[in-house]
Structure 1
Amino acid sequence: MRKNRSHTAEFRLEIVKEKLRGISIRALSTKWKLSTSIIRKWVDHHQASGALGLLPKSYHYYTIEFKRSVIESYHNKGLSLRGCCLAFNIPTQSTIISWLKRYEKFGMEGLKVQHGRPCVMKKDKPATKKDAPITRVEELEKEILYLKAENDYLKKLDALTQAKQTPQRKKR
Structure 2
Amino acid sequence: MGAFFMGKNRKFSVEFRLTIVNAYLNGDSIKGLSRRFEITRSCIQKWVGHYKQGGGSSLLPQYGRDYSTEFKQQVVYAYQKQGLSLNECCFKFRIPSVSTLHVWVRQYEQFGIDGFSRARGRPKSMKNKFKIIKTYGPLTRLEELENENLRLRAENDLLKKLDALIREKEVAQKKKR
Aligned equivalent of 2:31: 26
- Which structure 2 residue ranges, 5 or more long, are not aligned? 1-7, 127-156, 160-177
In structure 1, give the amino acid aligned to 2:16: F
Is 1:54 the equivalent of 2:89? Answer: no
Q: How many residues align?
A: 121
Aligned equivalent of 2:120: 115
Aligned equivalent of 1:70: 75
- Name the TM-score, length of structure 1 as normaliser: 0.66
- CA drift of 1:40 comes to 0.6
Aligned equivalent of 2:100: 95
- CA drift of 1:117 comes to 3.1
Q: Deviations over 1:28-55 (max 9, x none)?
A: 0010000000001001111111110111
CA distance in 2, matches of 1:84, 1:19: 22
In structure 1, give the amino acid aligned to 2:106: K
- Which structure 1 residue ranges, 5 or more long, are not aligned? 125-172
Aligned-pair RMSD on alpha carbons?
Answer: 1.9
Aligned equivalent of 1:39: 44
- Name the TM-score, length of structure 2 as normaliser: 0.64
Alignment of 1:144-163 (within 5 A): none
CA distance in 1, matches of 2:97, 2:120: 19
In structure 1, give the amino acid aligned to 2:110: K
In structure 2, give the amino acid aligned to 1:7: F
Q: Report SS of the residue matched to 2:36.
A: helix
CA distance in 1, matches of 2:158, 2:9: 37
Query: Max radius of gyration: which structure?
Result: 1
